[in-house]
Amino acid sequence: MDRSKLYRRFRTLLIANRGEIACRVIRTARAMGLRTVAVYSEADRDAMHVALADEAVLLGPARARDSYLNVERLIEAARKTGAEAVHPGYGFLSENAEFAQACYDAGLVFVGPTADMMNAMGSKSGSKALMEKAGVPLVPGYHGEAQDDATLAKAAEKAGFPVLVKASAGGGGRGMRVVRSADELGPAIVSAKREAKAAFGDDRMLIEKYVDNPRHIEVQIVGDSHGNLLSLFERECTLQRRHQKVIEEAPSPTLNPAQRETVCAAARKAAGAVSYVGAGTIEFVSDGKDVFFIEMNTRLQVEHPVTELITGIDLVEWQLRVAFGEALPLKQDEIKLNGHAVEARVYAENPTKNFMPSVGKISTWRLPAETGGLRIDAGYREGDTVSPYYDAMLAKMIAWAPTRDVAIERLNRGLEESDVRGIVTNIPFLSALMTHPKVRTNAIDTGFIERELAVLTSATLAPGELELCAAVAAVINDERQAAQGGATSPLNSPWQTFGWQPVGRRRRSFAFRVGHGTEQKVTLNYGSGPATLVVGDRELAFAIAPRDGGFDLTLDGVKSAVAAVISGHELYLRTRNGRFDLHLVDPFGGETEEQTGADKIAAPLPGTVVAVLAEEGAKLEKGAPILTLEVMKMEQTLRAPYAGVLKSIKCKVGDIVQEGVELAVVEASGE
């Protein structure tokens, strides 16, 4: 390859990605004086990354294969806008050697490793073969080219169950299954291959011995075109769900200084095997005694900010400088570790419903200011729409502090002060995770979240006196704003102020409930004299002082900050006691809440039918799989709600179905 075409200075950068990472790259590129070009699908016309860039090019329809995964359209977008370089971000085509080569062939600088390096290290199978030759310790398993069922079954038997079936080109937990017996192997391979093909365009699999109670540790490395290769310490990514990272931190609280140097040296050796150029990550799994190489990611990682905060290095800036052909600005002994950083991934998903992705319009987006060691990398804003076509990550919240304990406290405070409404998010789940005693003491492994799921997704707290009074105050505050020409009151109440009746002491009753629970009542006394609230047998003087995002509520001389959002009869409150979702009971009746039975086999979100797993007329046990949908690049299997007969299937493989559409009918057996 012509080295002058691989690395050279450029002025215009196209970001071949979307969401948070596109926004992240745009900010650093613009700070370096570069002109930026965004690309987008029809579903992302009004997306945040489109607004941030200097120019933006429409790639095509919403489906990733027709837009963000379309190499020809990406190259054409660069040509149209005069872009001289392409940054792939992470996900999509970031580890696709054909895309890297296509950029080179088109005369574009690819901000990342060469196609040859990707082929050598980007393939999990290929990198394992290379590491085996270099003497880097590996997890026992199979990483060969043969992909027939018999070969994979034999490899699994040899490694010994449980095993991990894993997409060779994968990442983010997609195309990955834990298999604990030979009977489970065949269906797991079929499902993993299908998911890998949809996400990466490559369905090759490898088999690994599954390490029980494992820890996931990875090392950030960066190489330049002058032969310099550095490690930037390690990250602990043990807190995972479905093999997808949830919380990451740097440095690892598991390693002592000697272990840290050993694993970082192994990472440099691994990357040096291919004379690696660019940013990348060497991933290891530990069983508590030994550390095994599992794969290399030949791209920037989602969790790169924790490394940036403990080193003071902007990794995107270093990526771009390496692409310019510059030498890395520091030597290995000049990279210093400072403090501790923790990152939480904020997703549009419902942890109480098996982390089902959530789609819709973001009606409220309130995240704390980036001060006091807090950093937020976001790809969405208030008013944006979360579509079902892409990964559900909305933002990352990262906290830095001199110590791990303080970093965790700062992160949790940031989570507690965050309010995102209109869609369901995992923010309360993340807060519960960060306050779990075993997380605080680092007594975890990669199966921790699954084991503690019931605790981490426990039922909503019952509202207390403060919350019931705050709910009344929220309604009153909303009505006052409407009366003063602010937002229109969604409750259509005849009471627009306390004093609508001319004389005397008046009362107004409110009733609230959580879900379909018992109603809890509050009485407002107003008119002559100070207004009071009556909860049970207590009467409390109160005052409201509006502020951004809510109000200050004073009850008997104690002032509390309350965040509040009202939508129709639904109230969301955040008080010092936590988050609360309440329903305001309509005093005039007319409630029309839809009752959806648990037996309805319907699409939970828009998606594509990728497999039909049962035949009409089949007798089913409760929980038997019926069909599989692909939603937000992840597979969701719909199951029989009770024992019975599959009366009909109302869809076929390949159908694109909308939310709520009935897909199958099961007739109960009556047992």
Structure tokens belonging to residue 536: 């049970």
Question: Taking residues 425-451, what's their average pLDDT?
Answer: 96
Compute how many other C-beta atoms are within 10 angstroms of the C-beta atom of residue 548: 7
Distances (CA, A) of 413 to 99, 419, 527: 41, 12, 39
pLDDT over 70 for what percent of the chain? Answer: 93
Side chain identity, residue 657: V
566-590: average pLDDT:
87
**Residue 326: pLDDT above 80?**
yes
From 43-57, 119-133, 544-558, 581-595, the region with the lowest mean pLDDT: 581-595
How many residues are given for the chain?
Answer: 671
**Nearest-angstrom CA–CA distance, 577 and 452:** 22
Cα gap 541→473, rounded to integer Å: 12
Ordered alpha helix ranges (H), 46-167 = 48-52, 71-81, 97-105, 115-117, 124-134, 149-159
Q: What is the pLDDT of residue 404?
A: 98
> To 10 degrees, what angle do helices 182-200 and 149-159 make?
120
- Residue 581: pLDDT over 60: yes
Residue with tokens 């963000």, as numbered in its chain: 68
DSSP string, 59-88: EESSSGGGTTT-HHHHHHHHHHHT--EEE-
- Quote the pLDDT of residue 429: 96
656 band by pLDDT with thresholds 50, 70 and 90: confident
Q: What pTM was computed for the model? A: 0.81
HSE (side-chain half, CA atoms, 13 Å) at 660: 4
Q: What is the mean pLDDT of residues 367-374?
A: 96
| pLDDT confidence of residue 608 | 86
More confident residue, 564 or 634: 564
**Structure confidence at residue 592 (pLDDT):** 43
Residue 589: predicted pLDDT = 55
8 A C-beta contact, residue 248 and residue 255: no
| pLDDT recorded at residue 503 | 53
Closest CA to 74 of 84, 91, 86, 62: 86
Report percent pLDDT > 90 for the chain.
69
By annotation, the residues acting in catalysis are 299
Which residues are registered as beta bridge partners of 179?
Answer: 163
Domains and CATH numbers, the chain: 3-111 (3.40.50.20), 140-209 (3.30.1490.20), 218-456 (3.30.470.20), 465-584 (3.30.700), 601-668 (2.40.50.100)
Mean pLDDT calculated for residue range 480-505 = 53
Distance of CA 430 to the CA centre of its chain: 11
User: Alpha helices of 290-359 — where are they, by DSSP H?
Assistant: 304-311, 315-324
Q: In Å, what is the CA distance from 531 to each residue of 182, 310, 499, 507, 575?
A: 70, 52, 10, 10, 21
Average pLDDT over residues 187-207: 89
Q: How distant is the alpha carbon of residue 81 from its chain centre? A: 31
The end-to-end CA distance of the chain, in Å, is 70
Q: List Cα–Cα distances, 175 to 194, 198, 623, 649, in angstroms.
A: 8, 9, 22, 26
Nearest to 215 by CA among 292, 135, 305, 309: 292
CA distances from 295 to 203, 282, 283, 578, 642 (A): 17, 6, 5, 40, 42
If phi over 0 gives left and psi between -120 and 50 gives alpha, with beta otherwise, what is residue 28? alpha
Helical axes 404-416 vs 427-434, angle rounded to 10° = 150
Is pLDDT of 113 > 90?
yes
pLDDT at 582 over 70: yes
Token representation of residue 557? 């001389």
Query: Which region among 168-172, 199-203, 480-484, 661-665 has the lowest average model confidence (pLDDT)?
Result: 168-172
> From CA 153, how far away is CA 148, in angstroms rounded?
9
Strands 374-378 and 393-401, sheet pairing: antiparallel
- Name beta bridge partners: 385: 361
pLDDT per residue as tens digits for the range 145-157? 899 999 999 999 9
